[in-house]
Structure 1
Amino acid sequence: MSDMAALQLLLVISLGSAFCQGFTSVRFNRNLSAAPEPVAERWFLQRLDHFNGADSRVWRQRYFVNDTFMQPGGPVFLMIGGEGEANPAWMKSGTWLTFAEKLGAFCLMLEHRFYGQSRPTPDLKVDSLRFLSSRQALADLAHFQTIVGLDLGLSDRKWLVFGGSYPGSLAAWYRLKYPHLAYAAVASSAPLNAVVNFPEYLEVVQTSLAQNHSACPNTMKVAFDSLVQLLQYKDNFEKITEDFKLCKVLRIKSVMDYSYFLETTTEILVNVVQYNNDNRAFEGVKGGNITIEVMCRIMANESLGSPYDRLVAVVQTILEANDQLCTKAEYTEFVTEMRDNRWGGPASEGGRQWLYQTCTEFGFFQTTDSVSQPFSGFNISYFIQQCRDIFASSFNLSTVANAVQQTDEYYGGLKIQSSRIVFPNGLIDPWHALGINTNLSSDVLAIQMQDAAHCADMYPERPEEPSSLPAARREIFKLLTKWLS
């Protein structure tokens, strides 16, 4: 896991896939062991501002094509990009391509504005980021589908949209807001309910940790309580620096320093839960061998010492699995990197952009403001202060709450009114707490996967995958076949 603070997530959200990141907060989990096989990229001339007819500015948006499975009269599958660079590995493999082969679909993948190589503005200044929103992204999809559909002779086909995590939300919202264009949607692990404070994320982490190891959350809590006690005294900072492999000697000069270190440490652990036993290795992501089972087994091993010692062993094991030599844990360095508004800056891969979206649209802040979870140290004020420190002093709890309320009013939150949408959710995944987990109608349906994590249904099949996935994929395919018939 790259610890450069740049999820919810979810994340929610692992930059190995631009379609299923779900940052736990605003850091990336890039860790690519190998570059994906090259796929020819194409470029589309996109409008900068879809909601101002007097603005004629355009920019080049990247997309990819796979026409291998196309049959006459077959549907068009459109994979929606998210809060990171589009990974061409998804044009080679994945559940959606298995469906495409069976249904004779033409496949397209569109990178999200302001991420990857799709750069609408010369920089990432706040004035530029005002063009970054889910609404603009949906309008990008509509304009892209309209023009490309005409150019490729696909306008009369049925277009089905796919996405996971935030792009899963976009898939559902595209079907909702552009029903004349999107015929159906598969919205995997999609957080539809925007909330400022999301303590339920860590509550689900606790439940998932306890699934096969009932004592694991309590041991984790004891360990974290011990860490908090150590943080009260400067004499312990060198030990903590060594234990947690920090890149610089720990310094705690403010509440934000304190919270940032604890949140950084927590995120190393909860990423394991969010992506437990997944198959991201196909796109080059490292660390998949570290699972809840591995983590809780270490926490239960009394021969390693106290719960704190076991926590240290877990963190070091995860860092080693990710080939990560050290962890950045300085809040001031984080702010400096996130304020850098250049393309090519340390947070330009998506961290600055996604934090902006959380501050202005979604919230999704995974706080410790709940007693039903094992971690501590970062409340809602900590995340709101990030919005202030990085973007503008005008941000406060009220302004963020107003923005989040507008998002839910615009899309409907968990009361989405639409048709032909399926919402697969892994119940180990903390993001399912903000998703659709029960059927809303006869064709707005939820598929729950008891032992699966974030976006697990999207990955290629493998023998050791969770037992609920094959049945979930069969159910999704059955629905698509029914809707296309």
Structure 2
Amino acid sequence: MKWISVVLTLVVTTHYIDLCAGILGNHFWKIQRLVHERRVNDLRGILPGESVCELFITQPLDHFDRLSQEAGETFKQRLFVNDQFYEAHKGPVFLYIQGEGTLSPVSAKSGFPAELAKTVGALIVAAEHRFYGASINDDGLKLDSLRHLSSQQALADLAEVHSFISQRYNLSQDHPWVSFGGSYAGALSAWFRVKYPHLVIGALASSAPVRALTNFEGYNDVVAASLESSIVGGTEECMTQIQQAFIQIDALLKLGNHTLLEGYFSSCEPVIDPLDQLTFVSNLASIIQGLVQYNNEVPGLDIDGICGIMQVTSDPLRNLASLNTQIMKNSNISCVNNSYAEMVKMIGNTTVDRNAEGPGMRQWIWQTCTQFGYYQTCDAKTNCPFSRLIDLPSQTKLCSDFFSISPQDIPKFVSFTNEYYGGDTPHGNKIIFSNGSIDPWHKLGVLTDLNPSEQAVFIKGTAHCNDLRSSNSKDPPQLTAARKKISSIIMDWLKEASVSEVI
């Protein structure tokens, strides 16, 4: 029997985490940074750095335009390769796909894939997404260049990575690959299996929003339900307190009493302009959205912690102000920047900094405008606990302001994405769709088996991409059981592939 070489593609375990909540919510990005820093600190001193090397592969800027390729239009895509566990000539290869942020070498060292790599002697290859981190040309953030940023181009990049790694490590085309991914890259993982079935024999899609949706009202519906869920320390009173706080905020803004709010919530500047008011309420909402999406990732600031703070007094506004103060303390800031103009300046910046960490906001907004939507709104017909100022027009405004994309065109782009990939009923096989009940993104995922080989793993009480993290003694039993089930399915795929190879 020949040893099979396997590539597991995944995302979102230790680097900056994918998929933001409201575009205007700066606190959400701060929470992502806190989660990242905590994960890196937990791993510091445990994982040997010398086992990871950095590589760059030359990719066509446009895989589907031969004239562009003939003209030599390319970019360099960054990879990190970890050979710590690799058993040459017989070990599998795990390919880690990065989503909409900077790739860290830690991504090739830890999490569920690393645990599996240690078990099977795998080589781990982490691939950065085009136009993020260091995988971008000097003019990559300019509008004319952004037309080359799409999920279709990213999948074609993976096909080239497959070829590059196969040649570098002397792997034949007969060696089966398996893709893993989480969040946006979880969708990429599923789509890679659907669109490139000759390259991957199976896929794990964790917390994957495979259904694109312009007005994603369901995100905040799940946030509300999670805040009431007793399994994670939520209560009905907690959700009511948050809802009442935002009702008071909307009323005060309507009355023009912004001075009280500026003092309560430590705003760096007045929130008189309607767009600054929108940024203000979005920042406050993003605190709760971020802490729910990454529940149990920020010590002391999880759903249980939110509800503890929101029930200290009978004044919802004062309680929300206390939560805001705690986030400011954790983020080491003295006031909150609620300036829409400053946010616009940051997103409008087209200067590339390859050493910058974190998510690429300009790039991700482009992707939402041109492919996915994913706008988390508080339109009137929902049970959203946040401000009603956070509506669809406010979320799509940036598409027209920065990219001259009419908001009326976005639903057409979203519809094409679903037609191209199949939405939440992709036609494929050997795909695992894993989701947590607390994660708001599960609303756009696959929650029940589509067929015997497209299986759903739904994990009660868990948040965004929890199954892709390293196992922990504090993990709830349902999460441990889910990882075991996922591992078992993958191992069955590999056994089937090895039998087929012998035959």
- Provide TM-score, normalisation by structure 1: 0.89
CA deviation vs aligned residue, 1:266-296 (integer Å, no higher than 9, x gap) = 0111100000014xxxxxxxx3431000101
Amino acid at match of 2:284: T
- Between the aligned partners of 2:479 and 2:158, the Cα distance in structure 1 is 29
User: Which one-letter code corresponds to 1:315 in the other structure?
Assistant: N
State the one-letter code of the partner of 2:287: I
The Cα of 1:426 is off from its aligned counterpart by: 0.7
1:360 aligns with 2:379: no
> What are structure 2's unaligned runs of at least 5 residues?
1-10, 496-503
Aligned AA for 1:241?
E
Which residues in structure 2 correspond to 1:10-25 (within 5 Å)? Answer: 17-18=15-16, 20-25=17-22
Residue 333 in 1 paired to residue 342 in 2? yes
Of residues 100-109 and 474-483 in structure 1, the stretch that sits farther from structure 2 once superposed is: 100-109
What's the secondary structure of 1:388's corresponding residue?
helix
Structure 1 gap ranges (5+): 1-12, 279-286
In the TM superposition, what is the alpha-carbon distance from 1:348 to its structure 2 partner? Answer: 9.1
Matches within 5 A, 1:141-152: 141-152=158-169
Q: Is the 8 A contact 1:48 1:120 kept in 2?
A: no
Answering whether residue 326 of structure 2 is matched by residue 317 of structure 1, we say yes
Alignment correspondent of 1:215: 237
Partner AA of 1:60 in structure 2: K
Residues of 1 paired with 2:138 and 2:411: CA distance?
A: 27
Match of 2:424 among 414, 436, 461: 414
1:251 aligned onto 2:271:
yes
1:290–1:321 CA contact under 8 A, matched in 2: no
Q: Once the two structures are aligned, what percentage of the paired residues are identical?
A: 36
**Structure whose residues are more often helix by fraction:** 2
Task: Please name the residue that 2:252 is paired with.
Answer: 230
Alignment match, 1:30 = 33
Once the two structures are superposed, the pairs formed by residues 38-117 of structure 1 within 5 Å of their partners are 38=49, 39-56=52-69, 57-71=73-87, 72-117=89-134
Conserved 8 A contact 2:12-2:182: no
**CA spacing shift, 1:318–1:204, aligned 2, 3 Å:** same
Amino acid at match of 2:430: R
Specify the code of the residue in structure 2 equivalent to 1:133.
S
What is the one-letter code of the residue matched to 2:168?
D
Q: 2:178 aligns with which of 151, 154, 160?
A: 160
2:458 aligned with 1:448: yes
User: Deviation at 1:16?
Assistant: 5.9
The equivalent residue for 1:383 is 395
- Could you tell me whether the CA contact under 8 Å between 2:99 and 2:128 is conserved in 1? yes
- The TM-score with structure 2 as length reference comes to 0.86
- Following TM superposition, by how much is the alpha carbon of 1:419 offset from its aligned partner in structure 2, in angstroms? 1.0
Name the structure 2 match of 1:272. Answer: 291
Q: Distance in 2 between matches of 1:276 and 1:348?
A: 19
Deviates more, 1:404-413 or 1:368-377: 368-377
- Per the TM alignment, residue 355 of structure 1 is displaced from its structure 2 partner at its CA by 0.4
Distance 2:283 2:342 in 1: 13
CA distance in structure 1 between the partners assigned to 2:107 and 2:357 by the alignment: 24
8 Å CA contact 1:240–1:250 kept in 2: the answer is no
Is residue 469 from structure 1 mapped to residue 469 from structure 2 by the alignment? no
2:242–2:310 contact (8 Å) kept in structure 1: yes
Whether 1:204 aligns to 2:204 is: no
**1:97 is paired with a residue of what secondary structure?**
helix
Question: What SS is found at the alignment partner of 1:230?
Answer: helix
Spell out, residue by residue over 1:159-190, the C-alpha distance to the aligned partner (whole angstroms, 9 max, x if none): 12111100100010011100111121111100
Contact 2:180–2:186 (CA under 8 A) maintained in structure 1: yes
Asked if structure 1 preserves the Cα contact closer than 8 Å seen for 2:219 and 2:441, the reply is: yes
Matched to 2:272, the amino acid is: I
State whether residues 14 and 110 of structure 2, in contact with CA within 8 Å, keep that contact through their aligned partners in structure 1: no
Query: How far 1:15 moved relative to its partner?
Result: 10
2:137 and 2:450 map into 1 onto residues whose CA distance is 37
Give secondary structure in 1 for the equivalent of 2:170: coil
Deviations 1:214-268 (A, max 9, x none): 211111111111111222344x43332232222x2223223x3332221121011
Matched residue SS, 2:115: helix
The one of 132, 135, 152 aligned to 2:149: 132
